[in-house]
Structure 1
Amino acid sequence: MPPSEPRSSRPYTAVLHQFVGIGDLVWHLPYFEAVARDSAGGQVAVIASPTTFARQLLEGLPWVAEVIDFDRRPRRSEGRQGRHAGVAGLFRMGRELRDKRFERIVLFSGHPNRGFVAWLAGIPQRLGYGTGWLQRRFLTTPPYIQRYEGPSVSVFNEAASYAIAHGWCSQRLVPKIQARPVALDDMRQRLASLPRPLYAFAIGTSEPFKQWGQARYAELATRLIERGCGVVLLGGPGETQLAEAIVADVPAGLRHGIRAETQQTIQHTVAALRLADGCVGNDTGVTNMAVACDLPTFVLLGKRPLLDLDPLMHMLRGPSLDTIGVQDVLSMMQAQQAPGFAAA
């Protein structure tokens, strides 16, 4: 139900996030919060895919009124069809949003079908990127933006252009996330025995071509532990076997310096990152969370668009991930005076 503000005040607003990754959601958070400041009660409802773990990531944030699932593209590992998949799913989503009686929807998307859903929901004010004529047919409120054509990831750049065009902010915003106190206390105890500085390895990935690999992670962990550092392996339950294999590949005499944490919640992962001193990992949600936790982060990018949303993100690029070796990572860490390397 809408907040109990007068009808003439700021509109009761939903923001819709198009993409399915955790990192994509993290990039958008400061812009969602900026929209919330211009919305009824200083809050927005966030519409997002369950694959972003939005319910866990946004839990307790004062500017989030509720999280609404847009269950269109489940992860392949789930082996099911999404509730909002296909044309019938779009109509179902439209009906569900109509019952919410939103006065405004802010689509962080240029996709026509998101505009169609907003129109089906009967929401009076419908804002979107409007990068194509078809989506504009369903929108009510310009300005619109141009598609990003530069060398970096388009998602973050288009979100920034859109928010600036509508006056929700005056410049690009850098995402930041905090850990919940309970999760922070739990992870502090779990990681207490590891040496410092502590490096988080983001070993998970949504696609095989983004995976740096077990052998390289094990060698990097070994080299860091030999320098006196600790290593915590972060990922989801799907990375448990990989994490165990990495630990097993570290020489027995050095395993005191490594720990796998792949069975925890997203909030525990955020807490582990807040307790770490740096991060190395695949191009995945955890590396983007690491930067948002103020960690110097070394992302194994390969031949992919730049991730230039935060100066703490250091990118290792090459024709492919196979061309990026352990010494390349260590050399960049040395050059950037990463924790544990400044005095070397």
Structure 2
Amino acid sequence: MRKGGTLIIQPFPGIGDMIWYLPYLKAIAREEGPITLLTKPRSLAREFLLADPAFRDVLYADRRLLSMIIPELIRRRFQKSWILHWSVSYASLPFFARVPERVGFGYGRQKYFLTSQKNLPEPSRTAHPITQLEMVMELAGYSIKKEDQIPPLCPKAHKKIIEKFSHFPKPWIYS
């Protein structure tokens, strides 16, 4: 496994949340190379996202056991992290793991754990999480492209779809 790279912390628990965040995760990966995602086990992100080349790895951590992931983060020597959540607890993980560049929303005490000086304005704290994501991406100068919005499909599933539906005329919805 190559050391370094980018860690993204997205702790919302469901696969639906992961779908919402997918374009932003892929946009970051397009700019910074394959990412490692830290999320909750309930998201099923490992099973869903590792077919996509934008993802190097998916790590799972339950909020009650966050401190137990720090040695693994140290071992991987990430160079940059994105905390896509307003929590101080999640922002402290890359801080204690000695990740040199740390980007996040920067609300309240979270800003003390970040290296980025481009924090979201305090009034945006009540905005929808997707609005907050759009704002932090804009501050970083990143944009969403059409291809970022396409969910990954593992090669085995793609092959089954082709075999089962190849006799039907295209265009197919999934493309």
Q: Structure 1-normalised TM-score?
A: 0.43
Deviation, 1:185, is 5.3
Task: Kindly indicate whether residue 154 of structure 2 is the aligned counterpart of residue 180 of structure 1.
Answer: yes
- Write the distance in 2 (CA, Å) between the matches of 1:186 and 1:18: 32
Deviation, 1:167, is 0.8
- Write the distance in 2 (CA, Å) between the matches of 1:104 and 1:55: 21
The question of whether the paired residues in 2 share the 8 Å contact of 1:106 and 1:128 is answered with yes
The question of whether the paired residues in 2 share the 8 Å contact of 1:164 and 1:171 is answered with no
> Partner of 2:153: helix, strand, or coil?
coil
The question of whether the paired residues in 1 share the 8 Å contact of 2:12 and 2:40 is answered with yes
The question of whether the paired residues in 1 share the 8 Å contact of 2:51 and 2:152 is answered with no
Deviation, 1:184, is 4.7
Trace 1:1-344 onto structure 2 (pairs within 5 A).
1-2=1-2, 12-39=5-32, 42-72=33-63, 85=64, 89-132=65-108, 134-146=109-121, 147=124, 149=126, 154-169=128-143, 175-184=149-158, 186=160
- Write the distance in 2 (CA, Å) between the matches of 1:180 and 1:18: 23
Whichever residue aligns with residue 85 of structure 2, its letter is S
- What CA deviation, in whole Å up to 9, does each residue of 1:270-291 have, x standing for no partner? xxxxx7x7xxxxxxxxxxxxxx
Larger radius of gyration between Structure 1 and Structure 2 = 1
Deviation, 1:182, is 2.8
- Write the distance in 2 (CA, Å) between the matches of 1:189 and 1:118: 44
The question of whether the paired residues in 1 share the 8 Å contact of 2:8 and 2:35 is answered with yes
Name the structure 2 match of 1:241.
Answer: none
State, as a whole percentage, how many aligned pairs show the same letter.
25
Q: 1 or 2 for the larger relative contact order (CA 8 Å, sep ≥6)?
A: 2
- Residues 18 and 173 of structure 1, relative CA distance in 2, 3 Å threshold: farther
User: Is there any run of 5+ residues in structure 1 with no aligned partner, and where?
Assistant: 4-10, 73-84, 192-274, 278-292, 295-344
- Write the distance in 1 (CA, Å) between the matches of 2:158 and 2:2: 34
The question of whether the paired residues in 2 share the 8 Å contact of 1:36 and 1:44 is answered with yes
User: Is there any run of 5+ residues in structure 2 with no aligned partner, and where?
Assistant: 166-171
Deviation, 1:50, is 1.3
- Residues 38 and 174 of structure 1, relative CA distance in 2, 3 Å threshold: closer
Deviation, 1:2, is 3.7
- Write the distance in 2 (CA, Å) between the matches of 1:174 and 1:157: 17
Q: Structure 2-normalised TM-score?
A: 0.81
- Residues 181 and 91 of structure 1, relative CA distance in 2, 3 Å threshold: closer
- Write the distance in 2 (CA, Å) between the matches of 1:136 and 1:67: 25
- Write the distance in 1 (CA, Å) between the matches of 2:141 and 2:79: 19
- Over aligned residue pairs, what C-alpha RMSD do you find? 2.9
Deviation, 1:174, is 7.2
- Write the distance in 2 (CA, Å) between the matches of 1:125 and 1:60: 27
Q: Which structure features the higher share of helix residues?
A: 2
- Write the distance in 1 (CA, Å) between the matches of 2:60 and 2:82: 16
- Write the distance in 2 (CA, Å) between the matches of 1:190 and 1:183: 11
- Equivalent pairs counted in the alignment come to 167
